[in-house]
Amino acid sequence: MNIEAYIRVLDLYARYARAIDDGRFQDWLDLFADECSYCVVPLENTRQALQLPIIRCRTRAMLSDRIVSLQQANIYNIHSDRHLISNVQLIRESPDRIEAEADFAIYQTDQEGESRLFGVGRYRTELVGPLQDLRIRAQHVTLDTASVPTLMATPL
């Protein structure tokens, strides 16, 4: 295993989590390549060979629309997120492309200071570019927690 590649991927996942949890959605979007996709699919659908997503952004334009909608249009529960990402593994490595997987748990904290588990699942992440500047080409989120608590506004 290329140790540098592994550490770069770890660092990218950390920046990914921090950007969402701090509400810096433009910074989060900037982690993606110009050509990119982001989708969230419940595990129960995948297991039944069904494609139906909860979120499906096939292009950067669609992803950007979702972020603008989040910031300007959608009304959702006032909360903060905390991503815990672990079990990071490099699945494939080539000079300009890495495929990685990681498990996540996301907790939401409301204004009463109560935290509850929002969901757990797995990222399958395709990364492109030089190691010093890895960008996400595809982020496929498999969500174990199919029954979404309240609603899903902020990205996983």
Partner 1 sequence: MAMDRYAWPGKALSRIPFGIFTDPEVYGEEQTRVFRGRTWSYLCLEAEIAEPGDFRTIFVGDTSVVVNRAKDGSLHAFINRCAHRGAIVRREMYGNAPDHVCVYHQWCFDQTGKLAGVPFKRGVKGRGGFPREAMNEDIRLTPLRVQSYRGAIFGTFAQDMVPLEEYLDPQFTAHLDRLLSRPLRILGYQRQRIRGNWKLYSENVRDPYHGGLLHLFQVTFGIYRNTQRGGTRISAQKGHNISYSVQGTDQEDARTAHAGVGTYREGFSLQYPELLAYRDEFRDGCGLSIMSVFPNAVFHQIGNSLATRQIRPKGPNEFELFWTYYGYQDDSEEMIEHRLDQANLAGPAGLVSMEDGEAIELVHRSIAAGSDRHSFVAMGADEPIETSDILVSEIPIRGFWTQYTSIMGIRTGDAP
Chain positions contacting partner 1, by CB under 8 A: 40, 42, 44-45, 48, 50-59, 61-62, 64-66, 68-69, 72-77, 146-153
d(Cα 89, Cα 120) in Å, to the nearest integer? 17
Which residue number, 1 or 78, has a Cβ lying nearer to partner 1?
Answer: 78
* Cβ proximity to partner 1, 2 vs 150, nearer residue: 150
Q: How far is the CB of 28 from partner 1 (least distance, A)?
A: 16
Least distance in Å: CB of 59 to partner 1?
7
Closer residue to partner 1 (CB): 23 or 149 = 149
- Smallest separation (angstroms) from partner 1 to the CB of 97: 25
Quote the least distance from Cβ 33 to partner 1, whole Å: 16
Which of residues 101 and 145 has its CB atom nearest to partner 1 in the complex? 145
d(CA 51, CA 118): 22
Tell me the β-bridge partners of 57: 38
CB 88 within 8 Å of CB 3: no
Q: Which long-range contacts (CB under 8 A, 24 or more apart) does 101-105 make?
A: 101/125, 102/13, 104/156
If residue 32 lies in a helix (H) or strand (E), which one and from where to where? strand 32-42
